[in-house]
Structure 1
Amino acid sequence: MKFKFTWAHGIIIALVCFILFICFMVFSIEFSKNSFDLVTDEYYEEEINYQQEIDATKNAAKLKERPEINMDSTGILITFPKEFNLTNTKGRFLLFRANSKELDIKKNFLDLSPQNTILIPNKNKILVKGRYTLKLYWSKDKINYQMEVPIIWK
């Protein structure tokens, strides 16, 4: 007996292939090893103050000298211009890792050294290879500043 392929067989094969493709996509996304956490747990509260962040970013862009970010094996060194020092500058920073909340480094105050620097040390190898975003917030004379710098730690 000879099998005859008809258009009905083609539709059934196409539907089965489509269902298998959808199942493959669902399971591959569901069981993937990548995880992505929210940027912050207080997402809605920070969204309300977003205009202040925009203004702070514009203020930082207007500066003649901005903080410099340097990386070496000891960690990440942030060097502020001379006009910002320990007595007149307050702020905080967040070293944010998109795919792991446990790798974030957050400090709610800036410990400026006499050389106007901050070191995020890599002691105990807390910085893991990959992409980070350094969010730097500071204020001087009641003017807020903000910078976001992408960092690739190697």
Structure 2
Amino acid sequence: MAVRLKDCRGRAHDAIRSYRLHGNVVRVFQEVGIVILEPLRIASYLFGHLDGMNESDNLCEVAPELPTEDQALVRAIGRLVEQLRGLWDTRGEWPSYDALIDVGAVGYRLFEEFGVHAQPQPDGQAYINVPFTVDTMPAGSAQADMLRALMGGYRS
């Protein structure tokens, strides 16, 4: 898990900076998704295993041990574990698979926190927006220099 958590935000920003040059929204969604969803997948296995062994009554015991300082990831892992524990506690009682929607919502919320916003459209497609930030502009580009200047990134 340590390898997957290492510099997730930096790797996501790299994918977004690359998107600024290639413009393919499906590609940036996939590239950022690999970076941020893989730690969630691994965490689901880890905490499921710990719960199965009755070794982790409280996520707070383990969360400080997660090898990341990115609080967005720590919060997302916490939300995911809560969702999965809720599903486990109500197994056999689900009227439909709609209960799984909340698990997916954890991932979509994390996408937004990392700078990729996806909105469902009436036709079943998604509108993907990647807002401009100083951290996600290619270095040396005129747009990046202008954005940094406007946002106070330059100091005289």
TM category (shorter chain) comes to under 0.3
Considering fraction of residues, name the structure with more helix: 2
Query: Larger relative contact order (C-alpha < 8 A, sep ≥ 6)?
Result: 2
Radius of gyration: which is bigger?
1
Relative to its length, the structure with more strand (as a share) is 1
Q: TM-score, normalised by structure 2?
A: 0.25
